[in-house]
Structure 1
Amino acid sequence: MSSRHHALMMFLPLLALSVPPSAGAQTATASATPARTSNLDAAARTAIVARLSTELRSKYIYPVVGEKGAAAITAAAASGAYDRIVDLPAFAMRLTEDLRGVMADKHLMVFDATNRPAPSVASMPAGEAGIVRVDRLPGGIGYLQIDGFANPWAFKPALDRAMAGLKGSHALILDVRGNGGGDPASVSYLVSYLVPAGKPIGISSIVWRKAGTTDFTRKPFFSEPTPVSFAGVPAYVLTSGDTFSGGEEFAYDMQTLKLGTIVGEATGGGANPGERVSIGHGVMAFIPAGRAVSPVTGSNWEGRGVQPDLKVPAADALATTLRRLSRPAAATIEAASPVSVFTPRTAPLNGGEAMLHRLFAGRAAPEPDYTLMKPDASDAGRAALAATHRRLQPLGVPQAIRFRRPDGFGFDEFTLVYPDHTLLAGIMLDSDGKFIDLIGPDPSK
């Protein structure tokens, strides 16, 4: 997949734009940011609406719907509906509300990029590449909690170790109740563990719109060989209303391919991946430029969510599943299994430390070295490298760079050692060793 797209991506801190309204993360981000008056003038509002309308018409996955959204905010601006909004965050929120009101797309979002708290290494969740817990429960039941699907470079080796630890399980419980999304290639790799080995089968596709046209391309995802197989093993997928995007895709694929039973709540209902786009005046938009397509249904879960086979409150999903497996019910995995058998790796992925050295070596240059990225990197991706370059410019070269841990978002975290202090940084690369993003450096604690 082209790096221009962030397919079904929610959980990365710099791309956390696809949270369903019910999840609270989107509103929490806004409420945690101090309100400020930006003296947004009429010219700026006009320019923002015009640029956003152009981007919607050019890129939104459904051209007719994109035109409808663009027309709605253009008409609202012409009617004076926005004239009294002088605060940039408030204007971005109003545009999001107006667009979702006519386009009904939960991935679509407009936000004030200048007023969002910068992610820090300390805020990254534990785990490895989205894998949080792996447990062997009494009765030969394997349990896997996946809170996100990091890029395959980080996700696949972590999943392979997790599934090796569950080899021989008579049933699997796959918990995506807290899963906000991720890379569809990683989703399809997890599904691959449940399908019969042999001829690859189609798991899903993402249809992308070619910007500025009504032409489309399709990226299919097929099952792959896995080190161990759980084909034919009864599988249960736990869901909640907060399961979103790539987390929903996993549940949908498991359901439509008849590989497992969905237990819990209807999911959030977001199936249209996309990309961040700069609108100017400090405004960014996440514009869905793609749609997920199942080879079984020819459709997806957009707006409806994945409907569970066993509908119960999310908090009761684990206990319900254990009872169905004739095991003692437990409300939480901690009660069922006090200690996870999964340990995140203690060595970095190849290339992370070397990339940090290259970034520091080039920090004094006027511009970042864009050859560190893929040639087709998106504007948002290039902006991430430019922001990294600016953050590193005032820093000296560290005496040492030491691996700290992987994190739950797919970053490798490092300690940067200086004579009188240390800093923390997290870096993410793709499978070709190219730069994707960097968080920090932050003071260590």
Structure 2
Amino acid sequence: MSRRRHALIMLLPFLALSMSPSAGAQTATASATPARTSNLDAAARTAILARLSTELRSKYIYPVVGEKGAAAITAAAASGAYDRIVNLPAFATRLTEDLRGVMTDKHLIVFDTTNRPASSVASMPAGEAGIVRADRLPGRIGYLQIDGFANTWAFKPALDRAMAGLKGSRALILDMRGNGGGDPASVSYLVSYLLSAGKRTKINSIVERKAGTTELRRDSFFSEPTPVSFAGVPAYVLTSGNTFSGGEELAYDMQTLKLGTVVGEVTGGGANPGERVSIGHGVMAFIPTGRAESPVTGSNWEGRGVQPDLKVPAAYALATTLRRLGQVPAAATIEAASPVSVFAPRTVALKGGEAMLRRLFAGRTAPEPDYTLMKPDASEAGRAALAATHRRLQPLAVPQAIRFRRPDGFGFDEFTLVYPDRTLLVGIILDSDGKFIDLIGPDPSK
């Protein structure tokens, strides 16, 4: 049975657009669409509230807290607090604020999908699967910047190449200052590089609630073999207030397993993974259904953030670390310390991307999308992503050629669609079995 994937933050652009700036730096941008101002009546508000309350009671990781949140927005509605809100984005924002006020969970968010900017391929972050750069600094210091943890089948080969370039380093700096999170299995794989290859070590667990019950299940992540080892190498993790979720897990794991020193700012404080849920009228909620659990502390960093061993402003974290490693004067930025990264994103596509695009185009004229392109247990939000892709491709002809463009920092593979009069860009992401997860674009090629 395949392991269920947990997202320790909203990594895909659809969700990244929903993140507040404090939740992490990894967001996609696109030109805004005009916001509607009078699109919400009493019946719609009532339906959204009812569905959201039901989902919170059924799925939120802590049943008592989920009940508390549902009761709070139900009481607010009964008092007339929402009666004058006719703007859908404003209503979603108000619900988020009211729920966080009593549930104090930074992963929890309600957002309007109908007024959000469309994700744009051109705006996707550089890098490969979250890895931005790897550098060999003077004094045999290795530096690795990771802004997100994409799914393991994209992340592992990229990390292996980056770490191979850092082999022989006497110290390792892991820069998580812009890391908004991702897949805990990928976090564990990075931690594995710092652990002894001869011992299987539990790194983290995700404890998840079974919907509609109080039953819990545990999915544990262990160290695994890596092509090279940095066991025993002094390691430093750089953090900021924007380091969130999976980025925080890396810092927390390194700290609790006594593998490294955390330098920088207290992190954002989000440790509860979850899932997107449609609550009607184009509104979705990201509801935390699980919690991270350290095998060392039995707890996590939720609401508190990871406390640095050496607290300094994020902008000074790199220079502070370099000085501790004997580099004086110490550069404040990686660009000043090392003008050229030794890491280069791959130049070939992951297996299956082009074939999936061709299947999507072949079925675009059908009345409904082909849901066999997804796993049978795909979530409601996942099925909605395929349906949206189907609608976007329907007006297009089959391209004359499909050419790989690059990987990007979210774990998508980007392709150019070639037509006689134009080219378009798309980004596609599949799971480890080659099944559809999401597609961004098509956008006009720049």
TM-score norm. by structure 1 comes to: 0.97
Instruction: Give the residue type in structure 2 aligned to 1:369.
Output: D
**2:414 corresponds to 1:409:** no
CA distance in 2, matches of 1:281, 1:200: 48
CA contact (8 A) 2:121 2:414 kept: yes
Cα 1:379/1:388, change in 2 over 3 Å: same
Instruction: Give the residue type in structure 1 aligned to 2:98.
Output: D
Q: Post-superposition shift, 1:216?
A: 1.0
What does 1:32-431 align with in structure 2 at a 5 Å threshold? 34-328=34-328, 329-431=330-432
2:247 aligned counterpart, secondary structure: helix
Q: Post-superposition shift, 1:2?
A: 7.0
CA contact (8 A) 2:188 2:204 kept: yes
CA distance in 2, matches of 1:19, 1:69: 20
Cα 1:349/1:21, change in 2 over 3 Å: closer
Q: Any idea what the Cα deviations from partners look like across 1:307-350, whole Å, max 9, x if unmatched?
A: 00000000000000000000131110000001111110000011
1:350 aligned counterpart, secondary structure: coil
CA distance in 2, matches of 1:310, 1:79: 48
CA contact (8 A) 2:28 2:125 kept: no
Q: Any idea what the Cα deviations from partners look like across 1:119-143, whole Å, max 9, x if unmatched?
A: 1110101110000011000100000
1:181 aligned counterpart, secondary structure: coil
Instruction: Give the residue type in structure 2 aligned to 1:401.
Output: I
1:321 aligned counterpart, secondary structure: helix
Q: Any idea what the Cα deviations from partners look like across 1:170-217, whole Å, max 9, x if unmatched?
A: 000000000000000100000000000023110001011111111111
CA contact (8 A) 1:19 1:244 kept: no
CA distance in 1, matches of 2:254, 2:311: 16
Instruction: Give the residue type in structure 2 aligned to 1:107.
Output: H
Percent identical: 88
Instruction: Give the residue type in structure 1 aligned to 2:391.
Output: R
Cα 1:18/1:171, change in 2 over 3 Å: farther
CA contact (8 A) 1:147 1:179 kept: yes
The farther-off stretch of 179-188 and 14-23 is 14-23
CA contact (8 A) 1:204 1:220 kept: yes
CA contact (8 A) 2:364 2:394 kept: yes
CA distance in 1, matches of 2:219, 2:105: 21
Q: Post-superposition shift, 1:99?
A: 0.2
CA distance in 2, matches of 1:193, 1:288: 29
Instruction: Give the residue type in structure 2 aligned to 1:118.
Output: A
**2:440 corresponds to 1:439:** yes
Cα 1:254/1:336, change in 2 over 3 Å: same
CA distance in 2, matches of 1:6, 1:30: 27
Aligned residue pair count: 445
CA distance in 2, matches of 1:192, 1:112: 39
Instruction: Give the residue type in structure 1 aligned to 2:353.
Output: G
CA distance in 2, matches of 1:427, 1:282: 23
TM-score norm. by structure 2 comes to: 0.97
Gaps of 5+ in 2: none
2:360 aligned counterpart, secondary structure: helix
The farther-off stretch of 5-14 and 55-64 is 5-14
CA distance in 2, matches of 1:106, 1:92: 15
2:354 aligned counterpart, secondary structure: helix
CA contact (8 A) 2:26 2:179 kept: no
CA distance in 2, matches of 1:417, 1:358: 16
